[in-house]
Amino acid sequence: MSSAVSSIPQTRKQTGASIGLVLFRLRAFIALLVLIGIFSFLTPSFFTRDNLIILVGQTAINALMAIGMTFVILTGGIDLSVGSIVGLAAMASGLLINRGVELPPLGVVVYFNIPAIIFLVLCLGTLVGALNGILVTRFSVAPFIATLGTLYVARGFAQLSNDGATFPNLVGKPELGNTGFPTLGADTIAGIPIVIWIMGVFTAIGWFTAAKTPFGRQVYAVGGNERAAELSGISVNFIKMAVYMISGLCSAMTGLITASQLVAAHPAIGESYELNAIAAVVLGGSSLSGGRGTVWGTLVGALVIGVLSNGLVLLGVQEFWKKVITGLVIILAVVLDQLQARFQQRLALRSA
């Protein structure tokens, strides 16, 4: 449609617009840098090695859940059960370490070593995710409702596991061969906490899966246009099952880390964590209607929340104001998201 005569100025305008668009897209990252700059300027204790390690360590908990959540949200779903899965996983690890598994017919109690416990707990989280997936695919329950139900069920089982009491002192016993659980949350490798390494590995795998594998592309397609995806030969139900299982797995990992850090498992661990995870995903630029978002974006989103929270504490801002500010940041992010969508649409129309 564009004639040769008008092509030169149009191109220039377009590049200008695209640069604007790129900056717009990177806004979460830019916001992160700006926040870091502001806090470093306002309080000298912010930009120190020790504080940054604490900050990233705190963020890791949320980031792990948010990475799993990203996959769910990319398909246009939502997983409200992640916080409860964190609690259930923490309690399961506590149960396995302190009490073992009783086998009534044999009258013996089996204790597992720590790697086996980690494996079992991860399986449990994946299984709860699979339950969500079955509800969403086989029984066509809306993801919001299905995972809301699982939220209660998983939390209930977390409380039932020890009659609402805490599993204290999860250090294990040498004679049972199950010591070393606190290592996960407390130790460092090359001066960096294991927790941060785990976050790094999960982020890398998550990014690779989403961006580089057929599975990832299919996740985007299902979220973008389910019918078109189906007609392209994509097994929509398989993809949906898988994303809830991924989310369950990530949440179980979070539960293990939390219990390990506390060296105890309390049934209320992870309450309302789902909201932080969703906030991180949204801040990272994912669209709740599906089909748009990245794992890197989610990591940046989680870091924005982490920096905000950490920095405001260092500044001595009251906890209640912290909540107000966090909420405003999330709203601002979504408003900007809408503006970007409109801006992109205009650009697309112009270049058509």
Partner 1 sequence: MVSPSSEPNELKLTGAESDVVLLAKQITKVFPGILALDQVDFKVYGGKVNVLIGENGAGKSTLMKILAGVEQPTAGELVLDGHRVSFKNTREAARLGIGIIYQELNLFPNLTIAENMFAAREVTKNGVVQHREQEELARKVLGRLEQPLDPRTLVSDLRMGQQQIVEIAKALSRDVRILIMDEPTSALTGTETEALFRIIRELTAHGVAIVYISHKLEELLRIGDYVTVLRDGKLAAHARAQDVNVTWIIEKMVGRTVRAPSRHNRFHESATGAPMLKVDVLSLPRAGSGFTLENVNFTLNKGEILAIYGLMGAGRTELFECLMGLHPEATGSVYLNGTLLGDATIAERIEQGITLVPEDRQRLGLVQQLTVGQNLTLASLRRHLTWFWLSDRRENESVSAIIRELGIKTRAASAPVTALSGGNQQKVVVAKSLLTKPQILLLDEPTRGIDVGAKAEIFQIINRLAEQGLAILFVSSELPEVLAVPDRILVLSKGKVTGEFTHDDVTEEKLVRAASALQQTDHPTDREQSTILQTT
Contact between 329 and 312 under an 8 Å Cβ cutoff? The reply is no
Q: Is 8 in the site for partner 1 (CB under 8 A)?
A: no
Q: Is 223 in the site for partner 1 (CB under 8 A)?
A: yes
Reading the block at residue 245, the tokens are 């299982």
First to last CA, the chain: 8
Q: Which is nearer to partner 1, 217 or 322 (CB)?
A: 217
Q: Site size for partner 1, by CB under 8 A?
A: 31
Q: Is 46 in the site for partner 1 (CB under 8 A)?
A: no
Q: Is 240 in the site for partner 1 (CB under 8 A)?
A: no
Binding part of the chain for partner 1, among 100-108, 143-151, 215-223, 270-278 by CB under 8 A, reads 215-223
Q: Which is nearer to partner 1, 87 or 293 (CB)?
A: 293
Site residues (CB under 8 A) for partner 1, limited to 260-289: 287
Q: Is 218 in the site for partner 1 (CB under 8 A)?
A: yes
**203 class by beta-carbon count within 10 Å (0-12 exposed, 13-18 middle, 19+ buried):** buried
Q: Is 149 in the site for partner 1 (CB under 8 A)?
A: no
Rounded distance, CA 111 to CA 3, Å?
A: 76
Q: Which is nearer to partner 1, 1 or 106 (CB)?
A: 1
Reading the block at residue 50, the tokens are 């020790």
Binding part of the chain for partner 1, among 176-184, 189-197, 273-281, 343-351 by CB under 8 A, reads 343-351
Q: Is 7 in the site for partner 1 (CB under 8 A)?
A: no
What residues contact 15, with CB distance under 8 A and at least 6 apart?
none
Give, in order, the Cα–Cα distances in Å from 180 to each of 244, 266, 283: 30, 19, 36
- What is the per-residue binding string for partner 1 in 169-208, x denoting contact by CB under 8 A? ---------------------------------------x
Q: Is 15 in the site for partner 1 (CB under 8 A)?
A: no
Residue with tokens 């990014």: 207
**80 class by beta-carbon count within 10 Å (0-12 exposed, 13-18 middle, 19+ buried):** buried
Least spacing, CB of residue 301 vs partner 1, in Å:
19
Rounded distance, CA 101 to CA 298, Å?
A: 37
Q: Which is nearer to partner 1, 230 or 271 (CB)?
A: 230
Rounded distance, CA 283 to CA 85, Å?
A: 23
Helix (H, G, I), strand (E, B) or coil at 100: coil
Q: Is 348 in the site for partner 1 (CB under 8 A)?
A: yes
Q: What residue ranges bind partner 1 (CB under 8 A)?
A: 1, 208, 212-214, 217-218, 220-221, 223-225, 227-235, 287, 291-292, 344-345, 347-349, 351-352
